[in-house]
Structure 1
Amino acid sequence: MVAAAVITGSGTAAADDVALPTPLPDPFYAAPKNIADLKPGAIIATRARTNPPAFFDVRTYQIKFRSADSQGTPIAAVTTLLVPTRKRADGPLLSFQHIINATGLECAPSQALWTQDPNLTIREAPGLNVALRQGWTIAIPDHLGPRSSYGAAKLGGQITLDGIRAVQRFTPAQVAHSRVGMAGYSGGGMATAWAAALAPTYAPDLRIVGAAYGGVPMDLIKMAEGLGYDNPHPAFGLAFAAAIGMSREYPRQVPMLDHLSPLGRQMFSGMRNACTNDILRLGAGHDAQQVTTGGRAIFDDPDARRVVTENGLVNYQGIPRTPIFEWHSPTDVLIPVAAIDQTLRRYCRAGVRVQRLRAPTPDHMSAAVVGLLPAFRYLTDRFEGTPAPSDC
């Protein structure tokens, strides 16, 4: 689940002022000096890994590739690739954007797959294993990037697309001419939805046959208003963590450290390398007024408001070319459901084939489970060339 940044103010900042996550000691993640000379999706390095505990009958690789951050500056990103031991050449390729609620690099899939992340091992691994047994190759990108820029949703779309490019260039995967599908829920759904919307202009070379996403926060300003802007909220930690992520990705526009109260600085320090549980624990029951000085300035600061708005898909006018399967709980209180409706109506008017599932469950996380297998059935049909249905 991803929330918009709710804490910032006017002023100036540079990247050195922002508390970046502690770098991973593994040199595999380092960017090469010549990265600016590489094209998006170019492979920088690869390595074989032991299989993650939740997966079997696969060969596992990690690929480091060239992508770009929100300002277009080249970055090194990583995707983890699961290749079934029994598959056909150019069989289906799924880019699966995992839910990552994190400000720490050790929470990214390329690390967490080996540390029993409950989202993957309990909720998502069974469905992914079914897809692997069907011969799908699955890529799981670290879509928050090398700064764990939680909340910077457009970045996640770019990394997803460049990760697909890299995987298709990786000869051992045998997916150079595969049909490509994308899937994800909540924050992973946001990266998936952004990838689908960006693909026609950012990666027109990719053959994407379908995108399935659910529980997507599409209006980050509205979401910020609902997660502890005026009153304490049990999930305020998600909003605060997203503020950290946005300040890392946009240090000049979101100079977060300039406006934190002592409590805010304490929370900032505690969340510098945090995963979901610590983020929720540290932020529970707080709000924006408690952690800032001089008031809550994000909605008064035009630069901060602009970058948060730009990362809400409801405001992006690009139109996907691929068919879409979308699902969410109609009573989800964590995401602005109206923004989903508004965005998909615009897609329908533009001729996109959209199928929707209103999950018969009352909350955000249970809807993830309800919609995952229908989403995979939808993508199975797209891989087989069945015409996409539409509820438009």
Structure 2
Amino acid sequence: MRITLRDSATALLAALALAFPAAITAPPAAAQAQPVMPAPDPDPFYWAPPDLAARPNGDILRSRPVDVSRFGNADGWQITYRSTNSSGHPVAAVTTVLVPRGGVDRPLLSYQAIINALGTRCGPSHTLFNGQLQEAPVVNLALMRGWAIALPDHLGPTSAYGAARLGGQIVLDGIRAVQHLPEARLGHSPVGLAGYSGGGMTSGWAGALAPTYAPELPIVGVAAGGVPANLSELANGLGTAPHPLFGLGFAATLGLEREYPTSIPLASGLTGAGLALRDRIANACSQEIIDAGANHSAAEVSADPARINTPMVRAIFDENSLMMYPGVPRAPVFVWHGNGDQLAPLDSIAATVGRYCAAGVPVQFTVFPADHGPASLEGLPGVLGWLDGRFAGQPAPSNC
């Protein structure tokens, strides 16, 4: 039996006990206690040029047309552009944009897909074309509405899963790059942001960072669903006992280690089983990570599970937790969540919404009686309708 994000963790525990994998074999003793980076993409389109540091954020490094005929009457391009990582250093990022043929300055939706991965091959610039992008129907829905849609590889060039603030910066610079691409004719388009789960977390960060990081962007709305707003809460929820989705929590910690190698020296405290699991998923996509980590726990992979709560690690988790970021979006916000969400508890995002409301941000907050997976589908019609209103310039509703 395969476990997916849409499955109920509680209902599958008995089946998992029967399907529990054999003991993980430890790697050779010579395995180095360093962050394991993903294999670089073999396509030179993704590579950073030598003059990267001299380029401004959002500057186009290279672009190419791509065949998006499977999505209908649209043109598509991929763009490599300059962005900035969590340490302030330049990175090369990639986004893919699809534009319905005809018209100028169509509404632009930056859609942050659920990636949950450690391999660079798992980003939308690949999965959009190999059939592995689970949210591909959203692309069709956007194009049918006459919107252009951009899908950034928002985990960045090291696939730093969990580094949500980095993702927000990559999203904003990706919008800049799309608007700089002459062929797309989107230079003055109103912009909406949307995403669910990890994509919702990144969308929320982009919205909150925009007033200071990219104040010139005409962002008219931010739709974020199923947001894990408190990473410490997420890590402890998935890691303290055997859990069917433990692999996602472990992978997020590995991704944060890639982005903060001196602050989260995870590898030095891993057991042999932990090193083996790390190496097994170092280039893995979401389902591979879930399968490899199913029903494992922090006690199995770490010699000191409590170190996840040390001040240094907690500081990095807080730096990437939307709940802890004091800034607020300038644009109206739509938030949807399941009140039975076992992956991203409701309280943290509700507290974030309360802070936005107190600051005067118009927020439409919708809670469904559902777990994490079903809530994503239940919220989609409302998200599309809400974005229609924002692109049309209508006053934003609020239930603050």
Match for residue 265 of structure 1 among 271, 275, 285: 275
CA contact (8 A) 1:359 1:367 kept: yes
When the two structures are superposed, what TM-score results if normalisation uses the length of structure 2? 0.90
Q: Which residue of 1 aligns with 2:319?
A: 310
Q: Which residue of 1 aligns with 2:379?
A: 371
CA contact (8 A) 1:289 1:296 kept: no
Q: Which residue of 1 aligns with 2:224?
A: 213
Q: CA deviation at 1:113?
A: 0.9
1:76-155 equivalence runs, <5 A: 76-86=92-102, 88-121=103-136, 125=137, 127-155=138-166
Distance 1:295 1:332 in 2: 24
1:1-392 equivalence runs, <5 A: 17-51=34-68, 53=70, 55-86=71-102, 88-121=103-136, 125=137, 127-229=138-240, 231-300=241-310, 302-360=311-369, 362-392=370-400
Letter in 2 for 1:259: G
Distance 1:335 1:133 in 2: 31
CA contact (8 A) 1:46 1:64 kept: yes
Query: SS where residue 76 of structure 2 aligns?
Result: strand
Distance 2:53 2:214 in 1: 18
Query: SS where residue 328 of structure 2 aligns?
Result: coil
Distance 2:395 2:371 in 1: 31
Deviations 1:1-53 (A, max 9, x none): 8xxxxxxxxxxxxx993210011100000001111111110111000111274
Flag the structure with more relative contact order, 1 or 2, with Cα contacts below 8 A and sequence separation at least 6.
Answer: 1
Letter in 1 for 2:52: I
Distance 1:171 1:371 in 2: 34
Letter in 1 for 2:270: L
Query: SS where residue 239 of structure 2 aligns?
Result: coil
Q: Which residue of 1 aligns with 2:11?
A: none
Distance 1:290 1:306 in 2: 24
* CA RMSD, Structure 1 to Structure 2 (Å): 1.4
Q: CA deviation at 1:223?
A: 1.1
Query: SS where residue 303 of structure 1 aligns?
Result: helix
Q: Which residue of 1 aligns with 2:15?
A: none
Query: SS where residue 227 of structure 1 aligns?
Result: helix
Query: SS where residue 61 of structure 2 aligns?
Result: strand
Distance 1:295 1:192 in 2: 30
Deviations 1:95-114 (A, max 9, x none): 00000010001100001111
Query: SS where residue 175 of structure 1 aligns?
Result: coil
Deviations 1:222-251 (A, max 9, x none): 11111022x111110001100110110000
Distance 2:80 2:286 in 1: 25
Where do 5+ consecutive residues of structure 2 fail to align? 6-31
% identical aligned pairs: 49
Distance 1:315 1:294 in 2: 26
Letter in 1 for 2:380: L
CA contact (8 A) 2:33 2:267 kept: no
Q: CA deviation at 1:56?
A: 1.7
Letter in 1 for 2:397: P
Deviations 1:342-372 (A, max 9, x none): 0000000000000011124x21111111111
Where do 5+ consecutive residues of structure 1 fail to align? 2-14
How many aligned residue pairs are there? 370
Distance 1:244 1:46 in 2: 30
Distance 1:212 1:36 in 2: 32
Distance 2:122 2:41 in 1: 11
Distance 2:239 2:188 in 1: 47
Letter in 2 for 1:95: S
CA contact (8 A) 1:52 1:113 kept: no
The worse-fitting range, judged by mean Cα deviation, of 34-43 and 44-53 is: 44-53
Indicate how the Cα distance of structure 1 residues 322 and 363 shifts in structure 2: closer, same or farther if over 3 A, else same.
same
Distance 1:340 1:295 in 2: 26
Distance 1:238 1:309 in 2: 18
CA contact (8 A) 1:209 1:382 kept: yes
CA contact (8 A) 1:52 1:114 kept: no
